[in-house]
Structure 1
Amino acid sequence: MSENHSGREESVSTIESATIQPIPVDQRHGRNRDMFTIWFGTNIMILSVVTGALSTTLFGQPAWSAALAIIVGNLFGAIFMALHSAQGPRLGVPQMVQTKGQFGSLGSILIVAVVVCMYLGFFISILVFGGESLASVIPFLNGKAGIAVLAAISVCAAIWGYTLIHAYARIMTWASGLVLLMAFIWAFIVHPVPAHFFSTGTATLAGFLSTFGACAVWQIAYAPYVSDYSRYLPAKTGSRPAFWMSYWGTSIGSILPMCLGAGVGLLFPGTNPVIALTQATAGISVVVVVVFSIGVAATNAMNLYCGTLCTITIAQTILPRFNPRGRERALIATGLCTLAVCVALTAGSDFAATYNNFLVLLLGSLVPWTAVNLVDYYLVRHGDYVVEDFYKRDGGRYGRVNWPAVSCYVIGVAVQLPFMIIGTEFIGPIAKMLGNTDISFIVGLAVVSPLYYFTATTIARRSNRSAVLVASAVEQC
């Protein structure tokens, strides 16, 4: 049970009726600490272990360099994630609905469509790695059956909605946290690390920045949906508590399992990270993998839930009279889940490399959006939006297409390409000059943030001057 500020209780057994509608004041509930548990509990899972393992396997970093890059990358990326989380209590709407305030009603469809692809990509990745994990410790279960089990749990939680997902995360905070501690003790203390552990790998700038970038995008990838899980908080909660609880919850919850992944990658070089984890925790691997896989289902429920809200946002933009509730959310969530399962069941054996390429593309498409959104919210409008206009066909005061924002987004994607590395398939010319080092997301942030701020404020000043001139002309008449 959770109690809202008006004294009414909500049960986790109740299916959420709201979808993308603004949350009324008398239906707000929850506490600041809910932001910590949902982001701590859902980050401790198989996929975060696999992401951490990229640092020592794919990027070849030694233990100290991998740990430093993981810590710094997560702390950096979490800033953007938490700034988005702080928007939820004030506006009370999903993040992608609020994006209409920057890009316009139709202009936002471009961004929302990219985000739907992101959710499906993460959903599929989690199904693949989670299914492999379950199959590695449960003899009668193969990878495809593991995928089906995780998908079923995820879709049920997504259908029940917000309150159940938060309750799930609170439970996983304690369960996953305890098991993570056991895994560290078992892998590195009960079984002493081999002599080659601290001498394996070579610290390189390219490897460090690649690890940093993978961890940063892990956090930035939450930006398009993080406020979906803070939008029910009472407005009096304020932005600052929501920011810090989200920041530390997601930072700590990601750094620890990623460091575990980097460690098992050094213990068993050349081994699939999931298999390496089971070997490193032999004796308690069933408990570790099963609990981490259950955590995967919680995270995937969030991906599916928010992917569904984004799909509804696109539909409502095209058909403003469309007012979906719980039943429509259930149907759309089931459809998206079915599509993801079909893709996951056909995934190849080289999925780890494919997943890393997905992270790079994801970072390239999300960085310009997060720069525009945060600059607009915090520096241009200072959180002052008319929520009702988000749901109008013509976008109200935000219009159908805000071309300056869309242009800044497209420019932001384009300027990153020369600095980008996508596996062996594409190495940007400047990235090659820098010794195969990918700094594309830094360039994207550095270009788009001031560009959008200058453009938006210049247009606002001109509009204000025009309004003043018109008012003066009317008075003279």
Structure 2
Amino acid sequence: MTSPEQAPLLERHTIGYVPPTERHGRVRDLFTLWFGTNIAPLPIVTGALGPALYGLDLWSSLTAIVVGHMVGGVFMALHSAQGPQMGIPQMIQSRGQFGSIGALLVVAIAGVMYVGFFASNIILAGKSLHGITPAVPLNAGIIIGALGSALICVIGYKLIHILNKIATWVLGLGILAGFVAIVVHGLPADFASRGHFTFAGWLATVALGALWQIAFAPYVSDYSRYLPEDTGVASSSSATYFGCVLGSGLSFAFGAVLALAAPEGTDTMVAAQTLTGGFGAVLLLLFLLSVISHNAFNLYGAVLSLITTVQTFRAGWTPGARARAAVSALVLVVCVIIALGASADFVTQLVHLVLALLIVLVPWTAINLIDYYLIHRGDYDIESIFRLDGGIYGRFNPRALIAYAVGIAVQIPFMNTDVYVGPVVGLVGGADLSWLVGLVITAPLYYLLARRTRAREHSVALSPAG
């Protein structure tokens, strides 16, 4: 096993299997990775939506944030624990549930989500840099932020972990200082009475927190797959859970405070600068560095999704650092074009898009976790996963696809988004219950269907051809 110090800085494997002899790192690295990456502008902007969009007061916002992140974090953490056991990226591992071709649907959806997040974050990086130095135009700031993230992405796994170890201390102390600076600078006299509780708004804010966690699920094990294979499920999942829940919870709470303390309609990043007094410039600088580091995750995820798609049809291809660099450059150009042409409310529009994407992520996460922990119990054939025909998993797993389609369909009547409002929404006070319904229906349905699939895999593996 390679020690952390001996491991090369430039990542070589990309989407390939990481053999046990090349494993390195410590489980506590997962805490700093997910805590550091969640102290960033985008979760702050998202947390501000509780009061700004749904009209919640402070305590309603905070309780919704806590509940949402604690619930969603369970799923995210259980995905993370798969990395050390499997040694492959999350989307590659999905072939074990959906088949080599069937998994492409989820890979494509994840890729779109990463591109949206990356474009949004480089816009926020541009705003932060422009706020620090008005002489730097917004568009120039966007390009600088994008290039910084691209460099981290190309180097890969080890640099991402190193940067987030630093970010845990620097950004953690920075956001705590931001809370203090807001109080010292002076809260509005009616701060505590602004907003009010509504069940629909509270549940929507819970959904935002749960979604924030579940949105990491398609790539969370990408950052744990280099850990030693004897890393326990409990240790890896708990380190991931507390790191992500605490980091994102702090950021969401900071956003809620900013939204309630600032005049209505104030941009969240502008509020962060003005409401923290003299500390505002320092805070924006920290946010700029944070978003560049954090955004490498989104570019890395988009790149792995695209490479996974290509490798599906080129089973003999083993992409390395050069392939990752080339695909990173391509995705970078596309995202910069999107960001430069985005409207002023692009980040808000992205949040609505991601809420709509929740309908397709929820049944996927249910299927993946049920299959890994209850059906296969972590026992997958790695060689089959990298074959064009899917080996014992086949090109398509009809039972998984059926459960997935049903999981999406049952959510539609309960949706309440800008894209669509379901007929049941009015009966529950406008609350969006789709993600809960999706989890409750998909998990047991897939479990019942998948038990037969597991029996078929055993018969194929034991046959002479298998």
TM-score interval w.r.t. the shorter chain?
Answer: over 0.9
Query: Aligned equivalents of 2:7 and 2:222: distance in 1?
Result: 19
What's the offset of the Cα at 1:407?
Answer: 1.4
Tell whether the 8 Å contact from 2:86 to 2:225 is kept in structure 1 after alignment: yes
Name the SS for the 2:187 alignment partner: coil
Query: Aligned equivalents of 1:149 and 1:459: distance in 2?
Result: 49
Query: Aligned equivalents of 2:136 and 2:444: distance in 1?
Result: 52
Q: Counterpart of 2:382 in structure 1: which amino acid?
A: V
Q: Counterpart of 1:257 in structure 2: which amino acid?
A: S
Per-residue CA deviations over 1:154-196 (Å, capped at 9, x if unaligned) read 00000001011111111111111111111010012x1232221
Query: Aligned equivalents of 2:420 and 2:459: distance in 1?
Result: 47
2:73 is matched with which residue?
Answer: 78
Tell whether the 8 Å contact from 1:81 to 1:220 is kept in structure 2 after alignment: yes
What's the offset of the Cα at 1:458?
Answer: 4.2
Per-residue CA deviations over 1:370-396 (Å, capped at 9, x if unaligned) read 000000001111111111111111101
Per-residue CA deviations over 1:312-334 (Å, capped at 9, x if unaligned) read 11111111122211001000011
What's the offset of the Cα at 1:364?
Answer: 1.1
Tell whether the 8 Å contact from 1:82 to 1:247 is kept in structure 2 after alignment: yes
Query: Does 2:395 align with 1:420?
Result: no
For normalisation by structure 1, the TM-score amounts to 0.94
1:439 is matched with which residue?
Answer: 433
Query: Does 2:141 align with 1:117?
Result: no
Query: Does 2:201 align with 1:207?
Result: yes
Query: Aligned equivalents of 2:459 and 2:81: distance in 1?
Result: 32
1:9 to 5, 29, 47: 5
1:369 is matched with which residue?
Answer: 364
1:49 to 27, 44, 48: 44
Query: Aligned equivalents of 1:270 and 1:467: distance in 2?
Result: 61
Name the SS for the 2:383 alignment partner: helix
1:353 to 348, 355, 364: 348
How has the CA–CA distance of structure 1 residues 301 and 33 changed in structure 2, closer, same or farther, with 3 Å as cutoff? same
Query: Aligned equivalents of 1:401 and 1:122: distance in 2?
Result: 29
Q: Counterpart of 2:427 in structure 1: which amino acid?
A: M
Tell whether the 8 Å contact from 2:57 to 2:197 is kept in structure 1 after alignment: yes
1:97 to 92, 96, 100: 92
Counterpart mapping for 1:222-233 below 5 A: 222-233=216-227
What's the offset of the Cα at 1:353?
Answer: 2.9
1:237 is matched with which residue?
Answer: 231
1:169 is matched with which residue?
Answer: 164
Tell whether the 8 Å contact from 1:360 to 1:421 is kept in structure 2 after alignment: no
Query: Aligned equivalents of 1:141 and 1:246: distance in 2?
Result: 37
Q: Counterpart of 2:440 in structure 1: which amino acid?
A: A
1:59 to 32, 36, 54: 54
What's the offset of the Cα at 1:124?
Answer: 1.1
1:259 to 240, 253, 256: 253
Name the SS for the 2:144 alignment partner: helix
Query: Aligned equivalents of 1:11 and 1:139: distance in 2?
Result: 41
1:27 is matched with which residue?
Answer: 22
Name the SS for the 1:421 alignment partner: coil
Query: Does 2:374 align with 1:379?
Result: yes
1:182 to 139, 160, 177: 177
Name the SS for the 1:64 alignment partner: helix
What's the offset of the Cα at 1:441?
Answer: 0.5
1:296 to 272, 291, 297: 291
Q: Counterpart of 1:319 in structure 2: which amino acid?
A: R
Name the SS for the 2:216 alignment partner: coil
Q: Counterpart of 1:10 in structure 2: which amino acid?
A: Q
Query: Does 2:211 align with 1:217?
Result: yes
1:475 is matched with which residue?
Answer: none
What's the offset of the Cα at 1:355?
Answer: 2.1
Query: Aligned equivalents of 1:103 and 1:113: distance in 2?
Result: 14
Per-residue CA deviations over 1:67-93 (Å, capped at 9, x if unaligned) read 000111011111000000000000100
CA RMSD of aligned residues (A): 1.9
How has the CA–CA distance of structure 1 residues 462 and 96 changed in structure 2, closer, same or farther, with 3 Å as cutoff? closer
Query: Aligned equivalents of 1:377 and 1:182: distance in 2?
Result: 41
Query: Aligned equivalents of 1:294 and 1:181: distance in 2?
Result: 17
1:147 is matched with which residue?
Answer: 142
What's the offset of the Cα at 1:459?
Answer: 4.6
What's the offset of the Cα at 1:19?
Answer: 1.0
What's the offset of the Cα at 1:300?
Answer: 0.8
* 361-370 vs 101-110, which moves further: 361-370
What's the offset of the Cα at 1:467?
Answer: 11
Q: Counterpart of 2:330 in structure 1: which amino acid?
A: G
Q: Counterpart of 1:203 in structure 2: which amino acid?
A: F
Tell whether the 8 Å contact from 1:217 to 1:362 is kept in structure 2 after alignment: no
**Structure 1 residues not aligned, in runs of 5+:** 471-477
1:344 is matched with which residue?
Answer: 339
Query: Aligned equivalents of 2:458 and 2:384: distance in 1?
Result: 21
Per-residue CA deviations over 1:99-122 (Å, capped at 9, x if unaligned) read 000000000011111111111111
Tell whether the 8 Å contact from 1:221 to 1:362 is kept in structure 2 after alignment: no
Tell whether the 8 Å contact from 1:317 to 1:393 is kept in structure 2 after alignment: yes
How has the CA–CA distance of structure 1 residues 11 and 373 changed in structure 2, closer, same or farther, with 3 Å as cutoff? closer
Tell whether the 8 Å contact from 1:427 to 1:436 is kept in structure 2 after alignment: no
Query: Does 2:387 align with 1:392?
Result: yes
Query: Aligned equivalents of 1:433 and 1:140: distance in 2?
Result: 52
1:474 is matched with which residue?
Answer: none
Query: Aligned equivalents of 1:352 and 1:76: distance in 2?
Result: 24
Tell whether the 8 Å contact from 1:53 to 1:265 is kept in structure 2 after alignment: yes
2:450 to 446, 451, 456: 456
Tell whether the 8 Å contact from 1:106 to 1:400 is kept in structure 2 after alignment: yes
Query: Aligned equivalents of 1:276 and 1:83: distance in 2?
Result: 36
Tell whether the 8 Å contact from 1:315 to 1:322 is kept in structure 2 after alignment: no
Query: Aligned equivalents of 2:256 and 2:314: distance in 1?
Result: 47
Query: Aligned equivalents of 2:413 and 2:126: distance in 1?
Result: 36
1:126 is matched with which residue?
Answer: 121
* 172-181 vs 247-256, which moves further: 172-181
Tell whether the 8 Å contact from 2:367 to 2:442 is kept in structure 1 after alignment: yes
Name the SS for the 1:284 alignment partner: helix
Query: Aligned equivalents of 2:168 and 2:104: distance in 1?
Result: 35
Q: Counterpart of 1:143 in structure 2: which amino acid?
A: L
Tell whether the 8 Å contact from 2:393 to 2:457 is kept in structure 1 after alignment: no
What's the offset of the Cα at 1:464?
Answer: 7.6
State percent identity of aligned pairs.
44
**Structure 2 residues not aligned, in runs of 5+:** none
* 83-92 vs 408-417, which moves further: 408-417
Q: Counterpart of 2:20 in structure 1: which amino acid?
A: V
Tell whether the 8 Å contact from 1:372 to 1:405 is kept in structure 2 after alignment: yes
Query: Does 2:151 align with 1:196?
Result: no
